[in-house]
Structure 1
């Protein structure tokens, strides 16, 4: 090592199934992050100059690389998260759909549009258009390391921004793979860049010269990001956790509802922000639902149907929630106190759990589910809404699905199917309360990464000119009469 060289701190990415090292990556400090943002700043103007069509063409080429090498990407996802390759493929496929939607619809959503100028300013042509912010920092999660961050990255790119992407320290290889694939189709400028490391790297990105931060993670970390971003008045979009409810009405298709509950609760080892954690079942079908759910849950096997807990510390959270539920009088019909192992957690179905217990109030983020009997759907809605979170929700009802969905205090609701709102690229994704604010996906997701620009252009001179010191009392009287006719009627 020469005197001008410095040792670069690194960290290992581990396979959570075996603890095998699957990759080694640099820990980027504030200087490295600032340099990446600086490079992005220079690339942003060029990327924006390509226009909607030019950017769409590059995004589609990126999408093509991802699809043609999907098996390779799924291997990386599986190695870093432990999830089955079929589940890895599912999130990649959904991400590809979102890239295509953003590329295809950016012009329609963000392009110039005429607005009515009103009678008093009828001589003005009024338009609004959405201009790129510049550089967007994206901080991604580990549980869906392709689908979730690309919900911000792809939309920010389609809107004309450069992006600096900081993946989770548990899945840096996935982030590196995606950035390298993008560089293959956009080799000219560093439009999409990677920074890796731990929380300090993310904090450096938040405090850097970015124009917006898109964060996915816990509510606690989201609050810290907001506080840091406030130092520069950097806007943020926060997609935090959830404690998502599933409501089962008396007329529900119970087999479908049970299948949705099992998938929503146990897929990806329960490590899903919109996963089902609470179920409220009408008393008329409660016993039958619980019997069916118990039977199905016993057929789900960790290591086959889902992987280990990616973040080992989450094992303690799951263990604590189960223990608290049982100590408070709850019963485990499947799993229970011994369900938490060294890497895996067996499916756990809890009943008779008090509503003020940790298993009901806090995000578990593991393969557990609580099931509660309710006298009617009004009680179900009341209990479902009694939460600091408000991300996703699910309703099973043949007659009242839309009514119940509208009453739930969540950003998204699926009726008679599990989590389907996440797969519809045209729909906004996000929550309320402790689940965060702002939206990714859909038209709202594109606008999240652009600034509205209002423009007026005078087409001809009006006989009544109000914005001049040459205005006369006669003009004021005519304006008063006109406004009275237009707006002063009883």
Structure 2
């Protein structure tokens, strides 16, 4: 187990974070403190919790440029991409408040005219452990922390070890917003730290944004602990299907954005694109290839600005290069081959491979793969039905998109593709804050986040309430 973690600004080399990994003894104490804080925090009036959440959103807005630059510096995201993440994080505060009021505030389910009132209350879980990712180090953990705090939970937050400075900034912002001591605490480290925290008897919920492998490992670790709620937001092998009617120029823009935005490091990025064989399909693919070859790949301070930034690390680029070779071994042929930049080992140019004509066994393997970077596999199919079938041929089910076609065709696509986010005439990466966000199959465990994240932050409590004890003998029905 390593003893320290540090991060440096990818542009200047200046240190952003340096600290010791949280050891097992410290984790035990953090969890104990969180348990005590949870009992106090859930008794805070809801309007006070809402006020603190709103203040946190205001701090994000006030320091918008500062946190944008910190995200870009630590994880290498392009400035426009980091700015979009900050904007989404600001909006999450009010969206979470609205979600709490609509979906999780106390309700009376009768009209109040009878002697018995039927009430639904919501009790917080207690201590929620949030395990954050590197690709959206502010927005994605924030999308779980905000509703968890609103619901009355204490939170222990472990940011990605590759985005610890952003995590530290977030925790400090919550303190500035007035959050009481120990209600939100941060622990530092990698897999070993997460394992130790999950093992704590004080944990009542574990919220992960990460890979399928990480989700499965936590699921196994929690075996036999049904009292711990597990919410998994995992990866995907996301398909986009292109109807022959779609304009090639539009296709080029939407498919390239789906596949290569954030250097392909979004869980919703398109990995497979299906075109119908023929002249129109060929034109669409050619437009996509032409658009992709024109993309500028670079770092966040380049001028003119880059379209595609670096991967999170040189190690990530090495792993992606192995994926590229695996795809070649399956029979895919390069339309745009692998090319890494001499400037920085984490800079990888977008890749497009053609899987048309590969064996069925290779198609099955392709649908099962998971990668995180700017590689897109295209495939020509005989008709749209075959494209739908291949799109659905994956154990994942996070996002999918259909470009072109009619509303009836899109409805058929939604029914068949088996994903939790299914878009029409937009990128696979399109998600709205006022909607649920979550995957099916190996992409999640029936705990959608987004607007619905508030649902897994508390348990419903049902009550039948009378103003005085009932005079009716409940045993009278058997006399």
Give the TM-score normalised by structure 1: 0.87
Q: How does 1:53-68 map to 2 (within 5 A)?
A: 53-68=47-62
Is 1:130 matched with 2:139? Answer: no
Seen in structure 2, the aligned counterparts of structure 1 residues 309 and 359 have a Cα distance that, compared at 3 Å, is farther
Where do 5+ consecutive residues of structure 1 fail to align? 1-7, 474-490
Partner SS, residue 232 of structure 2: strand
The equivalent of 1:336 in structure 2 is 338
The equivalent of 1:184 in structure 2 is 176
Number of aligned positions between the proteins: 459
Greater Cα offset, 376-385 or 273-282: 376-385
**Alignment equivalent of 2:70, drawn from 66, 76, 82:** 76
Partner SS, residue 136 of structure 1: strand
Partner SS, residue 437 of structure 2: coil
Shift of 1:69: 0.5
Is 1:202 matched with 2:194? Answer: yes
Greater Cα offset, 126-135 or 247-256: 247-256
Where do 5+ consecutive residues of structure 2 fail to align? 299-305
The equivalent of 2:402 in structure 1 is 395
Distance 2:87 2:179 in 1: 24
**Alignment equivalent of 1:433, drawn from 434, 437, 441:** 441
Partner SS, residue 105 of structure 1: helix
The equivalent of 1:35 in structure 2 is 29
Seen in structure 2, the aligned counterparts of structure 1 residues 44 and 66 have a Cα distance that, compared at 3 Å, is same
Is 1:173 matched with 2:176? Answer: no
Larger radius of gyration: 1
Q: How does 1:406-425 map to 2 (within 5 A)?
A: 406-419=415-428, 421-422=430-431, 424-425=432-433
The answer on whether the counterparts of 2:95 and 2:434 sit within 8 Å (CA) in structure 1 is: yes
Seen in structure 2, the aligned counterparts of structure 1 residues 349 and 138 have a Cα distance that, compared at 3 Å, is same
The equivalent of 1:376 in structure 2 is 383
Q: How does 1:28-427 map to 2 (within 5 A)?
A: 28-115=22-109, 124-208=116-200, 209-233=202-226, 234-284=228-278, 285-303=280-298, 304-336=306-338, 342-352=345-355, 354=358, 356=362, 360-399=367-406, 400-419=409-428, 421-422=430-431, 424-427=432-435
Distance 2:420 2:29 in 1: 36
Is 1:26 matched with 2:20? Answer: yes
Deviations 1:129-154 (A, max 9, x none): 21211111100011111111111111
Distance 2:217 2:256 in 1: 34
Distance 2:90 2:165 in 1: 18
Seen in structure 2, the aligned counterparts of structure 1 residues 253 and 461 have a Cα distance that, compared at 3 Å, is farther
Shift of 1:111: 1.5
Distance 1:22 1:241 in 2: 28
Distance 2:463 2:190 in 1: 43
Seen in structure 2, the aligned counterparts of structure 1 residues 297 and 442 have a Cα distance that, compared at 3 Å, is closer
Deviations 1:41-77 (A, max 9, x none): 2222333233332211111110110111111111111
Seen in structure 2, the aligned counterparts of structure 1 residues 292 and 315 have a Cα distance that, compared at 3 Å, is same
The answer on whether the counterparts of 2:27 and 2:197 sit within 8 Å (CA) in structure 1 is: yes
Shift of 1:409: 0.7
Distance 1:352 1:441 in 2: 33
**Alignment equivalent of 1:10, drawn from 4, 7, 17:** 4
Greater Cα offset, 192-201 or 351-360: 351-360
Seen in structure 2, the aligned counterparts of structure 1 residues 253 and 99 have a Cα distance that, compared at 3 Å, is farther
Deviations 1:241-277 (A, max 9, x none): 1111111112224333321211111111111111011
Distance 1:76 1:259 in 2: 29
Partner SS, residue 380 of structure 1: helix
Distance 1:190 1:460 in 2: 40
Shift of 1:434: 1.4
The answer on whether the counterparts of 2:367 and 2:395 sit within 8 Å (CA) in structure 1 is: no
